């Protein structure tokens, strides 16, 4: 097992490894008796097959939690990948030169030591849609890895086709971007990219009803694993806490748009007034 300047590999247990790209995005490799499941593939700055082959010789099936570029563009290095159909358009939208170039510039500013490791032009000109076959996953579908069975759980919110993956035998849940600890969750993009708050809340409450099936939660960013109370706190935030305290929030700006940033316990939520107004059912004022 080894790491590179771009991807750090960590062993969580005999059958579970984490590959963290540029200190930011976690992909997980879950190894079954018949095949291995790779959950997310990062931006794909390099082909991670050598890292995977150093861990397992099983056939690898790539599944994506959602269509954001930081989890999906790495599919370019794979022959096949699986995603929920509601997020495929989102991923295709991100499969362009500007998206790759913009993020690489940002990464190089943050981690200048990466410059020599990434072939910038080759990366920016790569297109998963030319190289890779897409397949679709649906809510409740079971992926059979041999001795392990992984359920796809549709959790719309951060994106409409967001999937979490629950390994039935051990209760390990891979929660993507929808459930994290002290890491920002984007909810300020346009309606075609991100679901209404009520939809998010419904997803989280459905997950809460299945809490006894869950033992550990592995998110796609920041601290991992995280505690179950993060789910309770995110539900509380959407259910009543945001409405009570949004007036204290400060503006947030980034290359994808503007919003406000809300902190509550483990929750770090970036949202728009438009989204909040739609949820509350009335115009809001910040005076």
| Closer residue to Zn ion, CB minimum distance, 21 or 68 | 68
Q: Which residue is nearest to Zn ion (CB)?
A: 68
Instruction: Please choose, out of 89-97, 176-184, 195-203, 228-236, the segment that lies near Zn ion by the rule CB under 5 A.
Output: 176-184
| Closer residue to Zn ion, CB minimum distance, 29 or 103 | 103
| Closer residue to Zn ion, CB minimum distance, 70 or 249 | 70
Min dist CB 1 to Zn ion, Å, is 24
| Closer residue to Zn ion, CB minimum distance, 15 or 68 | 68
| Closer residue to Zn ion, CB minimum distance, 46 or 70 | 70
Q: For Zn ion, how many residues bind (rule: CB under 5 A)?
A: 3
Burial class (CB in 10 A: 0-12, 13-18, 19+), 89: middle
Q: Which of 155, 123, 148 is nearest to 220 (CA)?
A: 155
Output the DSSP codes for 123-149: HHH--HHHH-EEEE--TT-EEE-SS-E
Query: Binding residue for Zn ion (CB under 5 A) from 87, 177, 181, 193?
Result: 177
Min dist CB 90 to Zn ion, Å, is 9
Min dist CB 68 to Zn ion, Å, is 3
Q: Which of 81, 9, 16 is nearest to 217 (CA)?
A: 16
Instruction: Please choose, out of 80-88, 172-180, 249-257, 268-276, the segment that lies near Zn ion by the rule CB under 5 A.
Output: 172-180
Between residue 15 and residue 74, which ones bind Zn ion under the rule CB under 5 A? 68, 70
| Closer residue to Zn ion, CB minimum distance, 114 or 222 | 222
Q: Where are the alpha helices (DSSP H) in the chain?
A: 49-53, 69-72, 88-93, 97-110, 120-125, 128-131, 197-209, 229-236, 242-245, 273-280
Instruction: Please choose, out of 55-63, 128-136, 171-179, 223-231, the segment that lies near Zn ion by the rule CB under 5 A.
Output: 171-179
Contact at 8 Å (CB) between 73 and 92?
no
Min dist CB 52 to Zn ion, Å, is 20
Min dist CB 220 to Zn ion, Å, is 5
Q: Which two tokens stand for residue 107?
A: 């990464």
Residue 193 within binding range of Zn ion, rule CB under 5 A = no
Contact at 8 Å (CB) between 84 and 138?
yes
* Residue 134 vs residues 83, 91, 249: alpha-carbon distances, Å: 7, 11, 40
Contact at 8 Å (CB) between 52 and 61?
no
Q: Residues in the site for Zn ion, rule: CB under 5 A?
A: 68, 70, 177
């Amino acid at each position: 097992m080894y790491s590179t300047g771009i991807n750090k590999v960590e062993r969580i247990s005999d059958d579970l490894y984490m590959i963290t790209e540029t200190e930011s995005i976690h992909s997980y490799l879950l190894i079954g008796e018949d095949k291995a499941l790779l959950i997310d593939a990062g931006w794909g700055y390099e082909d991670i097959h050598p890292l995977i082959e150093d861990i397992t010789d099983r056939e690898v099936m790539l599944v994506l939690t959602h269509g954001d570029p930081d989890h999906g563009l790495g599919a370019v290095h794979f022959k096949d990948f699986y995603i929920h159909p509601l997020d495929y358009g989102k991923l295709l939208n991100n499969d362009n030169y500007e998206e790759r170039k913009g993020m690489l510039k940002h990464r190089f500013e943050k981690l200048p030591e990466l410059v020599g490791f990434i072939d910038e032009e080759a990366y920016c000109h790569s297109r998963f849609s030319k190289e890779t076959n897409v397949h679709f996953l649906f809510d409740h579908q079971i992926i059979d890895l041999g001795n392990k069975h992984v359920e796809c759980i549709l959790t719309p919110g951060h994106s409409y086709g967001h999937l979490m993956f629950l390994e039935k035998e051990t209760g390990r849940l891979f929660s993507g971007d929808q459930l994290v600890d002290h890491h920002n969750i984007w909810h300020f993009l346009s309606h075609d990219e991100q679901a209404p708050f009520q939809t998010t809340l419904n997803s989280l409450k459905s997950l809460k009803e299945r809490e006894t099936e869950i033992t550990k939660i592995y998110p796609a960013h920041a601290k991992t694993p995280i505690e179950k109370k993060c789910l309770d706190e995110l539900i509380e935030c959407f259910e009543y806490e945001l409405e009570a305290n949004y007036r204290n929030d400060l503006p947030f700006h980034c290359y994808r748009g503007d919003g406000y940033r809300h902190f509550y316990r483990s929750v770090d939520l970036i949202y728009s007034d438009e989204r909040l107004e739609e949820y509350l059912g009335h115009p809001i004022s910040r005076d």
